[in-house]
Structure 1
Amino acid sequence: MSDAALPTVAEVRAAAEAVKAALDRHLAAVEGRTGDEDPEVYAAFNELAAAAEEYDELLYDRYDEVTPFEIPTPEDGVPYSGPAEPAAFSVLIRRDYAVVEPPRLIAQAERVAAHDRDAELVHGGTAGALGVLFGEYEPDEIASRYKEFGLEEGDSTLWIAASEEMAEPGEWLASPFGHTDAEDVLHRFDVSSVFDEEIDEFDEDEEPGLTPA
């Protein structure tokens, strides 16, 4: 790259300041989060990732140096090839739970039904209880209070998939998760205990007093 094409010192410094500001906004969003899937946190995360990527590129172009920042990519490594300027996007969320205390789950649903005539335990048992609870509480509230309902948290994933245009009303209701291509996924956020297990295994393999290269 010629000197004329190099980013200026001022441009690199401006990008660094943008990262600092994005860090502050991300911390503020995390401190004020309202649930596990708070949209303000995700928006701040994406803004921070974009600012860090911009700074990393300018720093490398100007000084041939890099940062330790790493922008997350899908676990399957499929590169994004969707629209550069998406006009719409879909948020796809899957959260798994185990019913570890059925009596607690049913009792919580019965309390709701006792105060809401429309929240009748039609099917009975845990199936009916789940219908009542998810009719009463938002999924984010269930996620933050799952232990109160006798549940155990499993894996979860959130995908942000870009599209050229907004879907027509009712277009995908018959198969809501069947039309998402991996290459259209802009961002993916996975949570699993398997990640903790991998870290533990790595730590156990290390010899005391040695630091990985």
Structure 2
Amino acid sequence: MSDAAQPTAAEVRAAAEAVKTALDRHLAAVERRSGEDDPAVYEAFNELAAAAEAYDELLYDRYDEVTPFEIPGAEDSLPPYQGPAEPTALSVLIRRDYAVAEPQRLLAQAARVEAADEDATDDDRQAGTLPGAIGLLFGEFEPDEIASRHKEFGLEEGDSTLWVTALDEPAEAGEWLESPFDQTDPQRVVCRFDVSAVFDDEQDGLEDLEDLEDADDGPDPADPDLDGALGYDPDEVVSLDDVDDVEVVERERGEPA
């Protein structure tokens, strides 16, 4: 990280103080909890996790050090489901992050879409700027199509998540459009699915470990390829007449071999 973007010592210290405050709040919430699934405890837990993660990042950026804190995965941090036993309506929340890896490619794709619109006037042109091009492409293509063709649009995939939540009844038309994500209750999440490069890195690490373990095992003594290379047949019965240079040693009874 460059010096210009590096956090100051004061910022790291402030993040550490935020962790201490979050710890106190979490303990207080636990001491006052009204039951096993108290939402106040869940909220305090999330605040503590966020504070610890922020401190860990600043500590690493400033001093190249890490903490022993491990933030549980999304599935572990969700509270038990408390929604209706038989939901009559569902709400699906999707977030997909992208990095604009190739701005010129994105602009070019937007220009092609715009050029194909014969009814567009000069005042309608949007493809000349990145915000306009992004709005044009996401207005023209379905989100799933953009996800499957993201490289064509100069985008690089980041993390994504999909939440399915249970509702008591279908929402009225236009009811939640002004604040679509503000009313999400974690206790009503039926299921969620996350995609992240973090999971790929963990899987790669496990595969590397398995490869090392396989390499340490050495050749299998019962490996038929090895037996063939040595000219050895484990099922072959060899007659003593075919064995050369056999020395017979006589010894007295009780004499050790």
> TM-score band (shorter)?
0.5 to 0.7
Distance in 1 (alpha carbons) for counterparts of 2:127 and 2:76? 39
Q: State the 1:78 CA deviation.
A: 1.9
For residue 170 of structure 1, the aligned residue among 149, 161, 174 is 174
Mark the CA change 1:165 to 1:188 in structure 2 (over 3 Å): closer, same or farther.
same
- Determine the C-alpha separation between the residues in 2 that align with 1:156 and 1:79: 22
1:98 to partner: Cα distance: 0.6
Contact 1:91-1:161 within 8 A present in 2 as well: yes
1:112 aligns with 2:113: yes
- The change in CA–CA distance for 1:161 and 1:170 in structure 2 (over 3 A counts) is same
- Cα distance between partner residues in 2 of 1:184 and 1:158: 14
Structure 2: distance between partners of 1:111 and 1:99: 18
Identify the residue that residue 74 of structure 1 maps to in structure 2: 75
Alignment match, 1:90 = 91
Judge conservation of contact 2:161–2:194 (CA < 8 Å) in 1: yes
Q: Cα deviation per residue 1:175-212 (whole Å; 9 max; x = unaligned)?
A: 1011011110101111111001112233445542379x
Q: Deviation per CA, 1:71-128, whole angstroms, max 9, x where unpaired?
A: xx83424211100111111010000011100000000000110111359443732111
Equivalent in the alignment of 2:213 = 208
Runs of 5+ in structure 1 lacking a partner?
1-72
Aligned length: 139
Match for 1:142: what amino acid?
A: I
Against the structure 1 CA distance between its residues 184 and 99, is the aligned structure 2 distance closer, same or farther, given a 3 Å change threshold?
Answer: same
**Aligned partners of 2:176, 2:120: CA distance in 1, in Å?**
28
Please state if 1:100 is matched with 2:104.
Answer: no
Name the CA shift for 1:144/1:123 in 2 (closer, same or farther; >3 Å).
closer
Q: Does the 8 Å contact 2:161/2:193 carry over to 1?
A: yes
Whether the 8 Å CA contact 2:110–2:134 is kept in 1: the answer is: yes
Q: Partner of 1:208: helix, strand, or coil?
A: helix
Question: How far, CA to CA, are the matches of 2:120 and 2:96 in structure 1?
Answer: 26
Matched to 1:144, the amino acid is S
Q: Is the 8 Å Cα contact of residues 127 and 136 (structure 2) preserved in structure 1?
A: no
- The DSSP-based 3-state class of the residue aligned with 1:74 is helix
* TM-score, normalised by the number of residues in structure 1: 0.60
Q: Which of 1 and 2 has higher RCO (CA within 8 Å, sep 6+)?
A: 1
2:136 matches 1:135: no
- Gaps spanning 5+ residues in structure 2: where? 1-73, 218-257
**Structure 2 counterpart of 1:208, which letter?**
E
* Structure 1 counterpart of 2:188: 184
Q: Structure 2: which amino acid aligns with 1:79?
A: P
Q: Which has the larger radius of gyration?
A: 2
Amino acid corresponding to residue 109 of structure 1 in structure 2: A
- 1:148 maps to which residue? 152
- Percent of residue pairs identical: 60
Partner amino acid, structure 1, of 2:206: F
Q: Secondary structure at the match of 2:83?
A: coil
Q: Any conservation in 2 of the 1:121–1:132 contact (CA below 8 Å)?
A: no
CA contact (8 A) 1:155 1:192 kept: yes
- Give TM-score scaled by structure 2 length: 0.50
Structure 1 equivalent of residue 233 of structure 2? none
